[in-house]
Structure 1
Amino acid sequence: MTRLTRTIAVAALATALAVVSGCSGSNESDGSGSDGSLEKVTYLTSFGNFGRDSYAWVAKDKGFFEEAGFDVDIKAGNGTGDNIKTVVGGQAEFTPIDLTGGLLQMGNGQAKDFVAVAGIQQRTMAAIITLEGNGITTPKDLEGKKLADTPGSVVRNLFPTYAKLAGVDASKVEWVNGQAQTLIGTLAGGQVQGIGQFVVGKPTVEGVAKKTAVVLPYSDIMTDLYGNVLITSTKLANEEPDKVRRFTQALLKGLEYSIAHPQEAGEILHKNVSTAQAAPAAAELELMGAYVRSAGSGAAVGTLDSERIARSIAILQGAGAIPPGLTPEQIINFDLAPKS
């Protein structure tokens, strides 16, 4: 082999190695390790394992998380207050919480060091659900009744504001503590006359109680409030923004798929959580579709609007639920949130 031939061969080999090296580094963008391993992440559902939270299981089952470089451990959440503590404490990286509940927690100094990075529902789904025969058809009928919910839930924490705006004397309503998985049974068994729930819980309540459910949506009184938002710790958002973006995109992909295929999503939830029934889960997702998509605005799924959040803050401040001073930028990381 001549010197020129050897030189050409070496150059060709170097070029080939560079191409291979470049290809082998492509996994870095999806978060997987150099050996193809997936990054472990813990995710909390918003509240138990109902149809409204099945989109996380769908993102896992359909491979959306894996495509983004994650091995996700999905655990049942227990409402806004507890979920914030778990994420801030480092026991989980991501969870949905009700944005209004987060505003109340942050505005009153009960929680900090977390930020929202995507919207799940464009309107609040917070509600009180009762059963026909309990004498509750309007907010005023709640006076003199016993209601149950978890202590940290947004329905319970927002109730004084809801009551004030709806003309209800909150001091005449008794609240007792309950757990996410037992609330519906408590209502069905007659221990309480109403429970804190999301509006999409109506099919599940009716399936357990075998009675017609009556729903009092908070959105009838407070129209500007968002529903659930995806949160993470401020530390993770600041230190690993690419990780947050990749996880958010994968989760929202699961959300969009679930809304478009509610029957399949219900079956996926049941496959992963045997106590969750597919049919009620699918019915919840069908109801939730109208809350996930921003009616008339054309905004992409997951977006958050600063002006709407400012109006939500103003509603809470006007009702005396939080003191002045809170701004949208304190609770939302608009750099990480999907753009409309």
Structure 2
Amino acid sequence: MRNAKWFIMLIVCMLVIVTGCSSTPKADNNSSSSQATGSNKQAAKTLKDVKVVLDWTPNTNHTGLYVAKDQGYYKEEGLNVEIVQPGSGGADAMVASGEAQFGISYQESVTQGRTQGVPLVSIAAIIQHNTSGFAAPADRGIKSPKDFEGKKYGGWGSPVEEAMLKTLVEENGGDYSKVKYINMGDADYFTAVKRDIDFAWIYYAWTGIEAEQRNQPLNMLYVKDYDKALDYYTPILVTSEKVIAQDPELVKAFMRATSKGYQYAIQNPEKAADILIKAVPDLNAELVKASQKWLSPRYQDDAARWGEQKKEVWQNFSDWLYKRKLLDKPLDVDKAFTNDYLPAGK
């Protein structure tokens, strides 16, 4: 569409020039054309450059961002948004340092970071309820956390991950010492369960849907089903205290457009999937479409509006972490998240 508009403008300018060569002066028309062109250039210059960094490679957790960019919602708010993948330090570090104004993170990460002085603030819950859990191929016979005994778990060494695994095993009558821990590194889940492990922690919306497509049945143990405190927000949209203090209008504008992007994805999962595929053509198109269909109704779920966060969710999970000595001190929950920059619900 942009190319078409510029082509039309070029034709108009050529006609003006040709007309200007005739015996009848057209100075007023030339002046108007110049002013219009100047106005368009000025409008382009006034767009504010904004960077949002993903937590991982692009997937359906991020669809609303790509929709907002593709549909022009960010431009309507005066923003030129660039969506980038994280550097070696991760998304949190890029946002905290000011390298990006916004990023994708997780409640556990922000909770731990804030108790250590990292000034990140969650401004929206991308998915209303935790869709992650421990998954195993059905033939491994893992139907409850007690069945983790004697099995090989593939993880990445996070203290939160180990605490969650240990708690679920012990609270369901199992012996955590009988679970063998294997660091998966960058291994793909499907490769790892064939080669090294029996189960791993996944997001069902992506890896679980891929398992369905591969016709590889899973037993999925969602962590939220075993403890209310584990129904925390993951992933979330974050910014820094500095951005909020210095440019609150930027945060409001970004969230207005982003909210529209996710609302579009909620209402139009197929079209939203096509937008993500167009933006990231290397993705498996069938996986994206199936994942989007599963995830779209779960973005907002039972919340009054997309992105809404509850204090009790932040409090319950931070208390859970503190009780297990995974936080240096209790979290000041009121400073960790805000709903102030979400557009008003309908």
Same fold (TM over 0.5): yes
Amino acid at match of 1:330: K
In the alignment, which residue of structure 2 is the partner of 1:306? 311
Q: Which residue of 1 aligns with 2:141?
A: 135
Q: Tell me, what secondary structure is at the counterpart of 2:307?
A: coil
1:274, 1:156 → 2: CA distance? Answer: 35
Please give the residue correspondences for 1:220-299 in structure 2 after superposition, counting only pairs within 5 Å.
Answer: 220-223=225-228, 224-295=231-302, 299=304
User: How many Å apart are 1:242 and its aligned residue?
Assistant: 0.8
Q: 1:90 to 1:195 in 2, by over 3 A?
A: farther
The residue number in structure 1 matching 2:101 is: 93
TM superposition shift of 1:337: 4.6
- Map residues 74-153 of structure 1 onto 2, 5 A cutoff: 74-77=83-86, 82-107=90-115, 109=116, 112-150=118-156
Determine helix, strand or coil for the equivalent of 1:259.
Answer: helix
Q: AA paired with 1:122? A: Q
Once residues 149 and 76 of structure 1 are traced to their aligned partners in structure 2, the CA distance between those partners, rounded to angstroms, is 22
Distance 1:133 1:333 in 2: 44
Question: What amino acid maps onto 2:104 in structure 1?
Answer: P
State the Cα deviation string for residues 220-277 of structure 1 (Å, max 9, x = none): 1233422322101221121111111111221121111112211112222221212212
1:184 has 2:189 as partner: yes
Question: Which position in structure 2 is the counterpart of 1:318?
Answer: 323
Distance, in Å, in 2 between the alignment partners of 1:152 and 1:313 is: 16
1:323–1:173 Cα change, 3 Å: farther
Please, which moves more after superposition, 278-287 or 156-165? Answer: 156-165
Structure 2 unaligned spans of 5+: 1-38
SS at match of 1:133: helix
Alpha-carbon offset, residue 177 of structure 1: 3.9
* Cα distance in 1 for residues equivalent to 2:236 and 2:300: 13
Given the superposition, is the C-alpha separation of residues 290 and 170 from structure 1 closer, same or farther in structure 2, using an over 3 Å criterion? farther
Q: Summarize the Cα distance change of 1:67–1:166 in structure 2 as closer, same or farther, 3 Å threshold.
A: farther
Give the match's secondary structure for 1:215: strand
Q: Is the 8 A contact 1:101 1:157 kept in 2?
A: no
Residue 327 of structure 1 is matched in structure 2 by 332
Once the two structures are TM-superposed, the CA of residue 332 in structure 1 deviates from its matched residue by: 1.3
CA contact (8 A) 1:302 1:338 kept: no
Quote how far apart the aligned CAs of 1:126 are. 2.3
Residue 212 of structure 1 deviates from its aligned partner by 1.5
User: CA separation of 1:254/1:139 partners in 2, compared to 1, >3 Å: closer, same or farther?
Assistant: same
| Greater CA drift, 275-284 or 150-159 | 150-159
Against the structure 1 CA distance between its residues 211 and 268, is the aligned structure 2 distance closer, same or farther, given a 3 Å change threshold? same
- State the distance in 1 between where 2:42 and 2:166 align: 49
Distance 1:167 1:75 in 2: 44
Native 8 Å contact 2:318 2:330 kept in 1: no
Distance 1:241 1:199 in 2: 35
% identity of equivalent residues: 23
- Count of residue pairs the alignment pairs up: 304
Match of 1:65 in 2: 74
Change (3 A) 1:260 1:162: farther
SS at match of 1:48: coil
Letter in 1 for 2:277: H
Q: In structure 2, how many angstroms separate the alpha carbons of the residues matched to 1:330 and 1:162?
A: 29
User: Residue 117 of structure 1 aligns to a residue in which SS?
Assistant: strand
Residue 290 of structure 1: CA displacement? 4.3
Bigger Rg, structure 1 or 2: 2
Contact preservation (8 Å) 2:266, 2:297: no
Q: CA deviation at 1:192?
A: 2.6
2:327 is paired with a residue of what secondary structure? coil
1:196 aligns with 2:198: no
